[in-house]
Structure 1
């Protein structure tokens, strides 16, 4: 049983969106920037994309979970800590060490990655509106946990293998926790989130094995 009702969840979401406006626009803008960097590929593109993802996780952990969601769910303090840890992992591996290399390429993993990014940025809010959850009664791209997790998994699928398993741990956990909103809170846009973590991990493992086989045959 959840410690809050569906009505309380939506009311809390409305209060959050109204309190942080117009941060949503800034989040969408840096999301577009990350996509442009993925295509344009200037110097430092990989580190900048990782930084964009890290900022989204940090903001969502602190502003959403800690300062707002915790008002109706005490477990949000734990969620906030997890999101801050993911921020640190992204900052260390992607920004500090430059261990993430994003690029557009052909293949199943890349196609799924692009689809997840497009879903988080466009189809997620459209589906929310279609099912009766128009703004401000909707999770918004870049500033709420579920879209942030989906877009992050999308970018990870566009990263050159091997990608550290530590980068996937928390997004996978949240895909299961947050994805439960699909049936517990009547949020059909989160059905894809529920499956996205497992799909992304499986595709990444397959890509990693393929890369190892390719290197061993050289």
Structure 2
């Protein structure tokens, strides 16, 4: 049983979207830059992409979860902390470990990665509008948990080196939490979140094992 009503849940989105405008536009610009850098590599591309993803996770953890979502669900304190941990992990592995190398590769992981990015940015909001969700109550790209998780999973699939399993823990957990809750909360576009989490995890594990040196 959820500790809040559907009306309260959607009301949080409405209040949040009004309060942070025009951050949604900036999130699209940042997401577009991150995606373009996968195809147009530069010296600092990996760090810029990781920095953009980290800023989105930190923002969503602090502003959405801790400031807004805690008003109807005290578990949001835990969710917010996990999102901030994910942001820190992205910075750590991109800067300290240099284990994130974003680049499009023509293989199943690359194809599905592009599909998830496009779903999170374009199909996700259109799906919501098509099913009757008011525009002001839409979970928006880059600043709310579910589209951010789908986008991040897509971006992690667009890498050419093994990805640390630690970077997959929070996105996979949220795919279970958010994907399951979508059934009860009238957010049908989040049904894809469950699939995205399971498929991305399986693909990355399979791909990274194939890339690991023999012996």
List gaps (5 residues or longer) in structure 2. Answer: none
Report matched runs for 1:150-165 at 5 Å: 150-165=150-165
Q: Which residue of 2 aligns with 1:9?
A: 9
Report matched runs for 1:29-48 at 5 Å: 29-48=29-48
Q: Which residue of 2 aligns with 1:62?
A: 62
Structure 1 contact 161–207 (Cα < 8 Å) conserved: no
Distance 1:36 1:161 in 2: 19
Distance 2:36 2:96 in 1: 21
SS at structure 2 position matched to 1:216: coil
Q: Which residue of 1 aligns with 2:170?
A: 170
1:84 aligns to 2:84 (yes or no): yes
Distance 1:189 1:181 in 2: 12
Distance 1:14 1:92 in 2: 34
Distance 1:119 1:162 in 2: 24
Deviation at 1:182, TM superposition (A): 2.2
Distance 1:190 1:75 in 2: 19
Report matched runs for 1:91-170 at 5 Å: 91-170=91-170
Deviation at 1:128, TM superposition (A): 0.5
Runs (4 or more) in structure 1 with deviation over 4 Å come to none
The alignment of Structure 1 onto Structure 2 pairs a total of residues equal to 215
Distance 1:95 1:119 in 2: 28
Distance 2:15 2:133 in 1: 14
List gaps (5 residues or longer) in structure 1. Answer: none
Q: Which residue of 1 aligns with 2:53?
A: 53
Q: Which residue of 1 aligns with 2:214?
A: 216
Distance 2:209 2:37 in 1: 27
Structure 2 contact 139–146 (Cα < 8 Å) conserved: yes
Q: TM-score, normalised by structure 2?
A: 0.97
Structure 2 contact 38–158 (Cα < 8 Å) conserved: no
Distance 1:188 1:197 in 2: 16
